[in-house]
Structure 1
Amino acid sequence: MLASLLEKLKNNNNVVLQADPGAGKSTVIPLELLEANVLKAQKIVMLEPRRMAAKSIARFLSKQLSETVGQTVGYQIKNDTKLSNSTKIEIVTEGVLLRRLQTDPELTDVGILIFDEFHERSINADLSLMLSLESQQVLREDLKILVMSATIDTSFISSYLHGAPVIKCSGRSFPVTETYMKPVNSRIEINVLKAIQNVIDDEGDILVFLSGIGDIKRCINKAEEFFGSREDIDLLPLHGSLPAEQQDRAITKTFKKKIIFSTNIAETSLTIEGVTCVIDSGLEKVLAYDPSSGMSKLVLSKISKASAEQRKGRAGRLKEGKCIRLWTETEHASLIDYQREEILVSDLSGVVLELANAGFHKYSSINWLTPPPASHFDSSQSLLIKLDLLDDEGRVTSLGKAASSLPVHPRLAKILLSARNSFESQVSCYLAAMLPERDLIKDCHSVDLLLRLEALIEAIQGNGVQSGLNQQALKVVGQDFKVLRNNIPKVDEQFKAEGIQDSVGYLLLSAFPDRLAKRRGLNSCRYKLANGKGVTLQESDPLTSYEYLVVIDSDAQNKEGRIYSAAPFDINILSKHFSEQVVTDTDYEISSSNKIYAHQRKKYGQLIIEEDKSENVPQEFIHDSLVKLIPKDYKKILNWTPECEDWLNRVAWLGGKLDGFPYLNIDLIMGDVANWLLPYLPNIRSISELKSINLFPLLSSILTYRESNLLDSEAPQFYLTPSNKNVRIIYSTVQGPTVSVILQELFGEVRSPMLAGGTIPLRFELLSPAKRPIQITSDLEKFWSGSYVEVAKDMRAKYPKHRWPEKPLEEKPGRSIKPK
């Protein structure tokens, strides 16, 4: 395989490698490429999705060379770098590679980019591959790209890389026996314990895959009930938020039997020495983005077949192993083949900003590996425009360029860039460091962000008691704070936190303009966000005493998501610093005494900040009020007569039938009163005055002289019967123009008159002498020659004193009763 790979890389810029677990993708290929010197002294940069894997692989490769990390092989991950001038192989995480592509699109000293474990399809891996390919095509024709995974859709990736050759390689793993075990209980810890008990006496360590930290804690607590007294067994957690020492303890071989309870962090890349059995819950938690709220929620979901295969492979690295799957074989067949790409379910704000900074701002022009939902792209772009990081066309602004250069989410970058002085610069660094990490305070009674911020400031400055804080989270936040403070020149070393609340409110709303929340009632724990979504606090949370909050984190539920992080907000900040985002709406209503009163609302997004009602509407606003009121209640406000209604029906009907005649309806007419009505009523002061005006002349003047003549000829108000009587025509868009006439009045009328330019026949409702309907027809000629015979026969029996001649067209029209 190695010879084939070197040959392919020599003759091709892009190669796809599918190699089974244990084949040495991560641990052999980088060193072989280095030794073969196919890159002419240029560096090898290998992308790893996870920090723990990046460090572990760097240590392993360095050990192979009998060196320490940072010499020939080094790594660079968030807040941790071990590189030197002699480093030729760099193991980096996705954020690091993105920063490098941003600052040095040519990747000047890089010969090859290796995308390891690409099946995970993280959003940043997709973006990195997209930008790397662009760099290769435009700036670096000699740059080589190698995409590797054990479970990957090779033809799909090959096609994206312009037909890159595919190499497939079997691994050196041992057979793993699969067992499917139907869960016996709804509690995951019970099912896991039962599986452990089945293999506890087997040789080797046990690796248990679980969905998250909560399940890990529950399973360890349950296992301790049965195995806690055994000195030969270690129960160890493994997840990304653990300190490095605890992570190392989980993956390093010891003399004790280890049962390792892990998230999917151990699914790939990491080789955990001693594992011979895998117990797989088949579950994982993924973030799902809701574009309508701009928020995400953690969703528990089933893993894919590819992930199940990766997890199973952990048990066959050293010898034959076992894999117990906590689901049925039938359920396994229904799993999706590959896990959904992160780009399909994630917030795209960072991606959209990076792409705009690289010159790509139109969804349709981007060379997506997997196109995300257009609604997600549009939602993220709208947010970035609202944050002033993009202009109205989606192009990056100068502020956006500055935000893109910072190693944080665009919202957090906006916090950093919104600081107006040294004090706020320091506050912004604390906020941007703290918000992405896990909760700093253990078992806190409130989601109040200010409590955590004050605790963080005291801890970093060495003034506070740290016993109630999450030490690992505090360590990470402290490191991030130092990095961010180095990026921001305006900082105050003698920082004091007094009066911090207003600055926090200002900075948070600058970055979360859609997350201002107003309490729905005086004693309520329910809030409405500026974007219209509902959120809720725990009833016992002291934050419920505040009318306004800025919500930082909330579960994006369909109805009301739970608030996980928020800060109190002084509404006066809105008028002081965000007045341009506050709009004033004025609605007008009619009181029971027929007076006009104004209902004025100051709104921020969908929140009503202030409202006021007044009957003192100035004369200059009377017309404005009528423009809004008349369309909603014209019959109550105007002198709307049957004549007006009849005219409107004729106009609406003819407009839909005759070319060249304007199409009008009640909504269009009443929506235009500012032009056809109000200019002729300059001194109107009240509804009662308006009611006294004869409306019809003004209404009918909407039509031109020619249009009025067309209306009278093609949609006449009356039908003149052969007996010389005018009968009103009823115009309906549903059943057509209809006239109701006693049958004898139509004697001599051979055929139905035609309306609308001769295209629509007049519809007749023929009445008995008692004026009851006896027949409806739009074709008089056919009626006389057809059904009239049966009608007349029936009517002679019912109305013998009335005329029912055999030849109606020869009879004189008029009275129905027979002459004496």
Structure 2
Amino acid sequence: MIKLPIESVLNALKDVLSGSTSAVLVAQPGAGKTTRVPLALMDEPWLAGRKIVMLEPRRLAARSAAQYMAAALGERVGETVGYRVRLDTKVGPGTRIEVITEGVLTRLLQEDPSLEGVGLVIFDEFHERSLHADLGLALCIQAQQVFREELRLLVMSATLEAEPVAALLGDAPVIRSEGRSYAVETRYLERPVADRMEPAVVQAVMKALESDEGDLLVFLPGAAEIRRVAARLAELLGAGAGAGAGVRIAPLYGQLTQAEQDAALKPCGPGERKVVLATSIAETSLTVEGVRVVVDSGWMRVPRFSPRTGMTRLETVRVSRASADQRRGRAGRLAAGVCYRLWTVQEDRQLAERSTPEVLEADLTALALELAAWGVSDPLELQWLDPPPGAAMSHARELLGQLGALAEGGGITAHGRAMAELGLHPRLAHMLLQAAPLRLGGLASELAAILSSRDFLRSASGAADSDLRLRVEALRGFAATGRQPLPGYTADAGTCRQLLAEARQFRAALAANSAAAHEARDAAGTGSAEEIHAAGLLLAFAYPDRIAAKRPNGRYLLSSGRGAALPDAGSQPISSAVYLVAAELDDQGAESRIYLASPVALEELEQHCSELLERERSISWDRSAGAVRARQRLRLGAIVLQEKPLASLQPDELQAALLQGIAEEGLGILPWTRASRQLQHRASFMHRADPSWPDWSDEALLGSLADWLGPQLYGLRSRDDLQRLNLTDILENRLTWDQRRELDVSVPTHIVVPSGSRIPVDYSDPAAPVLAVRLQELFGLQETPKIARRTVPVTLHLLSPAHRPVQVTKDLASFWQNAYFEVKKDLKGRYPKHHWPDDPLSAIPTNRAKPRS
């Protein structure tokens, strides 16, 4: 066995774990920590016969590590060393080391919180900070503290900041291994990539094949870019001469079958070179034999969850410096190598140091369900490097409540536990459980497999087709014939086989689930073509917030309230659906684009999703109609499924809606007359002088509509009906007999002036009541008229014969003495036919041009 750098610290690691229950191991890429550490610790006495469980962030890395360790022991996988990953398990009764993916650890903890048969849990490549790794570590720490003090925890990484993790583990010891790596020459671009990345990648690969030795490992963001680069390289290398002679192109990403992934890792034969086109799956843990050259596009694809829309989108982002260094190091594992970085030196300086932990950006619905199953409602009850964000957790718990996984108090329900047992995303687990009693378990399993992977069906014409039922037809067609499934479409055969295997596993899990087993004798269903039309109903179980109704403009309204649209809707048959369920869509812009969906019938929603429906009685003021409108609606979230008039109303409901309308419109909607307004203002004058009087200002009346106006509204429902009200009588009836008498005495409606005219008093300004009267009608009056039992002088607006104001005063005596003669000159010139005496106090008052003889 080749001696690896990690071996220099193995004794120190053994000593630490002999006296401590936690440790952090930092070892450079290629040091051998993944394959040597478990073997070195396997026979330590503190294990007491228990097994070692090592977590790997990816299935491919888990299988590869187990195979390598088993080979080092001269055994087959499944004997001393085994693995458990999704769709594939190889362990035996004598297995001492189990390499598992992180979701498997969560299931082990939920089944046995004490991990009784486990002595050591190793978290490998923890720097990737996957959601399951953070959750697994938090649960293991609590299990160690509550159930098993002797349980050992070891966190391993190549680029991790060790101190925060050590502190989280109770100031655990940190061991460092420098590792061994060969010199890697790093080459940058002179200018940034101006267009798509694929041409630049192809150019760099061709250059490396001509000028450098060894196999190539090319990092690309995702499967789509890998397919495009592979197709272009196949064209360029197809001649088989020169640099293209003996070159094998090997894709490597998560959706490939195990055989296809193993082929990418397999060493080349004599005279052969390979170009491995990989996602970030190849950054860590894996050793791709023969690699001497790395071509790094500088991009990676990460999931980003938006609590605002409730949707997750895959976003292509720049790699962090830590990831770039990991990728670069792959070229120096076996010998000196070269790394082509497809960005400039200036761009390199702007890279973030590390990627954002998944717990801060991902959909937390599965995490929230696991915590509820663990018995934790508040994530802060556990210890985290980065606690889950509150907004995303609130959204996750709200969705779980909608799926029936959480009770009103926040605790997990029996249905929620059944969902957690299935180990799928809660949406898909709920769909499977709801499908069982409908005998649609087989269809639900196929949908779950399709939705758990990237879209595998591609139109030969490139036209968009979002109908998810086509994918089910294609998958079933491939299962029956083993050939391309549908005319005009292509699908990768390996992906189809993988999806069918996953569907079988989901069906088996459903059959074994305690909650589903008694629901139906044959939960799988018939597999008939007609059954496919139930896909929309099953999606409604999984995505109740994405049930969509067609709008008049052809676009859709989601039950969550967000808008959505089908791309190229005019060419898609599914666009004729009145209702559909969107399984995959983005959250870009004002409206989401729907990528995968299936139609659903209103009758299906009413029959099978009644818990989502809300019958709403709407009785409210319609401003445009000027009347109360009463409607009965059947709602599904933001979608109004049905609406019709309410046949009968309770008087109190009608009165409340009319009061609401008056409050919205303002008091101006009421039939105010001069008398009713004057009464309001007179009472306001009294209230100003004596607060024990009622406040009848507009603001006070609006705030107390139910008290003074409400009893008068029974039987009324429109603006026209309101015109029948007599506000003077209504307001007067609010006063006692003594108040009315006092009002008549102290706040008269009119004042009789010397001419004999009854002039109304304007009380619209309670601080200064106004008497507007022609000047000639006051001849002979020496003092200003007073109200409030002759304590408050009115404000006189002295008018010309044309009723235009010529003077404002509260002191009539002063006016006669000082200002009258100037006013007289002006008025005599404008109104010569009128009587303008020299002595107004001895003149006869008149409401005519001249006094009568």
TM-score bracket for this pair, using the shorter chain length: 0.7 to 0.9
Equivalents in 2 of 1:293, 1:278: separation in Å? 38
Q: Is the Cα contact below 8 Å between 2:26 and 2:158 reproduced in 1?
A: yes
Question: Is residue 2:267 matched to residue 1:253?
Answer: yes
1:477 aligns with 2:513: no
* TM value normalised by structure 1: 0.82
Question: 2:605 and 2:440 mapped to 1: Cα distance?
Answer: 17
- Is the Cα contact below 8 Å between 2:443 and 2:527 reproduced in 1? no
Match of 2:194 in 1: 185
Q: State the SS of the aligned residue for 2:392.
A: helix
> Which residue number corresponds to residue 780 of structure 1?
none
Q: 1:113 aligns with which of 108, 114, 121?
A: 121
TM-score for the superposition, normalised by structure 2: 0.79
Q: SS where residue 168 of structure 1 aligns?
A: strand
Deviations 1:139-178 (A, max 9, x none): 1111111111111121111121121121222011112222
How much has 1:499 moved relative to structure 2? 3.9
Alignment deviations for residues 467-500 of structure 1 (CA, whole Å, 9 cap, x no partner): 7443233222222222222232342677242542
- What's the CA shift for 1:16? 1.1
Change (3 A) 1:244 1:597: closer
Structure 1 position 96 matched with structure 2 position 118: no
Q: After alignment, is 530-539 or 473-482 more displaced?
A: 473-482
Residue matched to 1:553: 584
- Give, as a single letter, the amino acid of the residue that structure 2 aligns with 1:486: A
Give the Cα–Cα distance (whole angstroms) in 2 for the partners of residues 221 and 652 of structure 1: 87
1:15 aligns with 2:15: no
Kindly state the Cα deviation for residue 195 of structure 1 after the two structures are TM-superposed.
Answer: 2.5
Q: Does 1:526 align with 2:542?
A: no
Deviations 1:714-763 (A, max 9, x none): xx999x9xxxx9875759xxxxx899999xxxxx99xxxxxxxxxxxxxx
How far apart, in 2, do the equivalents of 1:335 and 1:68 lie?
43
Looking at structure 1, the residues matched to 26 and 714 of structure 2 have their Cα atoms a distance apart, in angstroms, of 81
The residue aligned with 1:785 is: none
Equivalences for residues 379-390 of structure 1 within 5 A: 379-390=395-406
* 3-state SS of 1:140 partner: coil
2-structure distance, mates of 1:76, 1:301:
31
In structure 2, how many angstroms separate the alpha carbons of the residues matched to 1:610 and 1:353?
34
1:782 alignment partner in structure 2: none
Give identity over the alignment, percent.
Answer: 36
Larger Rg: 2
Give CA-to-partner distance per residue, 1:800-819, whole Å, 9 cap, x none: 9489xxxxxxxxxxxxx999
Per the TM alignment, residue 196 of structure 1 is displaced from its structure 2 partner at its CA by 2.8
CA contact (8 A) 1:362 1:394 kept: no
Residue of structure 2 in register with 1:442 after alignment:
458
1:215 is aligned to 2:225: yes
Distance 1:608 1:628, change over 3 A: farther
- Give SS of 1:442's match: strand
When structure 1 is superposed on structure 2, of 271-280 and 693-702 the one drifting more is: 693-702
Return the letter of the residue paired with 1:527.
Y
SS in 2 for 1:7: helix
How far apart, in 2, do the equivalents of 1:281 and 1:251 lie?
20
Q: Per-residue CA shift, 1:262-292, capped at 9, x if unaligned? A: 1101111111111122121111111111112
Counterpart for residue 454 of structure 1: 473
Letter in 1 for 2:492: N
* Deviation at residue 557 of structure 1 after TM alignment: 1.8
C-alpha displacement of 1:198: 3.9
Secondary structure at 1:296's aligned position in 2? strand
Do the aligned partners of 1:415 and 1:507 also contact (CA within 8 Å) in 2? yes
Q: Distance in 1 between matches of 2:433 and 2:700?
A: 48
Counterpart mapping for 1:146-225 below 5 A: 146-181=154-189, 182-200=191-209, 201-225=211-235
Cα distance in 2 for residues equivalent to 1:557 and 1:43: 47
The answer to whether structure 1 residue 340 and structure 2 residue 356 are counterparts is yes
Distance in 1 separating the partners of 2:686 and 2:160: 64
Backbone CA RMSD of aligned residues:
4.5
Contact 1:585–1:603 (8 Å) recurs in 2 = no
- 1:271 corresponds to: 287
Q: Aligned letter for 2:366?
A: G
Q: 1:453 to 1:184 in 2, by over 3 A?
A: closer
Shift of the 178–573 alpha-carbon distance from structure 1 to 2, 3 Å rule, reads: same
Match of 2:725 in 1: 693
Q: Do the aligned partners of residues 242 and 690 (structure 1) sit closer, same or farther apart at CA in structure 2, a change above 3 Å counting?
A: same
SS at match of 1:28: helix
Cα pair distance change 1:118/1:600, threshold 3 Å: same
Letter in 2 for 1:290: S
Shift of 1:437: 2.1
Q: Given the alignment of the two structures, is residue 514 of structure 1 paired with residue 545 of structure 2, yes or no?
A: yes
Does the Cα contact within 8 Å between 1:454 and 1:497 map onto a contact in 2? Answer: no
Moved more, 559-568 or 221-230: 221-230
Gap change, CA 1:671 and 1:158, over 3 Å in 2: farther
Provide structure 2 residue ranges, at least 5 long, that are not aligned to the other structure: 1-8, 512-516, 752-759, 773-782, 785-794, 809-817, 825-837, 842-853
* Residues 511/321 of structure 1: CA separation in 2 closer, same or farther (3 Å cut): same
1: CA distance between counterparts of 2:216 and 2:807? 89
In the alignment, structure 1 residue 44 sits paired with structure 2 residue 52: yes
The 3-state SS of whatever aligns with 2:289 is coil
Q: Distance in 2 between matches of 1:163 and 1:224?
A: 53
Amino acid at match of 1:484: F
What is the DSSP-based 3-state SS (H/G/I as helix, E as strand, rest coil) of the residue aligned with 1:269? coil
User: 1:214 is paired with a residue of what secondary structure?
Assistant: helix
1-side partners of 2:130 and 2:249: how far apart?
30
- Most deviating of 326-335 and 426-435: 426-435
1:602 paired to 2:602:
no
Cα offsets for 1:65-110 (capped at 9, x unmatched): 1111111111110010111111111100011111111111111111
SS state of the match for residue 27, structure 1? helix
Alignment equivalent of 1:144, drawn from 146, 152, 176? 152
The answer as to 2:323 corresponding to 1:307 is yes
Per-residue deviation at 1:688? 3.3
Matched, 1:25 2:39: no
- What is the CA–CA distance in structure 2 between the aligned matches of 1:485 and 1:429, rounded to whole Å? 6
On the 8 A contact 2:446/2:472 being kept in 1, the answer is: yes
Matched residues in 2 for 1:149 and 1:195: separation? 30
* CA distance, structure 2, for counterparts of residue 653 and residue 559 of structure 1: 55
Q: Which moved more, 1:350-359 or 1:189-198?
A: 189-198
- Aligned partner of 1:417 among 433, 437, 444: 433
How many positions carry a matched residue from both structures? 760
Structure 1: runs of 5+ lacking an equivalent: 732-736, 743-747, 750-763, 775-795, 804-816
Deviation for aligned residue 1:633: 2.7
What secondary structure is seen at the aligned counterpart in 1 of 2:584?
Answer: strand
Q: CA deviation at 1:370?
A: 0.8
Does the C-alpha gap of structure 1 residues 454 and 220 become closer, same or farther in structure 2, counting only changes over 3 Å? closer
Deviation at 1:183, TM superposition (A): 2.9
Q: Distance in 2 between the 1:148 and 1:59 partners?
A: 20
Return the letter of the residue paired with 1:235. I
Residues in 1 aligned to 2:123 and 2:352: alpha-carbon distance in whole angstroms: 23
CA distance 1:493–1:193, shift in 2 (3 Å)? closer
CA 560–688 in structure 1, closer or farther in 2 if over 3 Å, else same: closer
CA distance in 1, matches of 2:684, 2:51: 76
Give the drift of 1:324: 2.0
**Structure 1 residues 88 and 536 mapped into 2: Cα distance closer, same or farther (>3 Å)?**
same
Once the two structures are superposed, residues 756-792 of structure 1 have per-residue CA deviations (whole angstroms, 9 ceiling, x without a partner) of xxxxxxxx9x999997999xxxxxxxxxxxxxxxxxx
2:258 to 232, 244, 263: 244
Determine if contact 1:439/1:473 at 8 Å carries over to the other structure: no
Distance 1:216 1:638, change over 3 A: same
Distance 1:594 1:334 in 2: 61
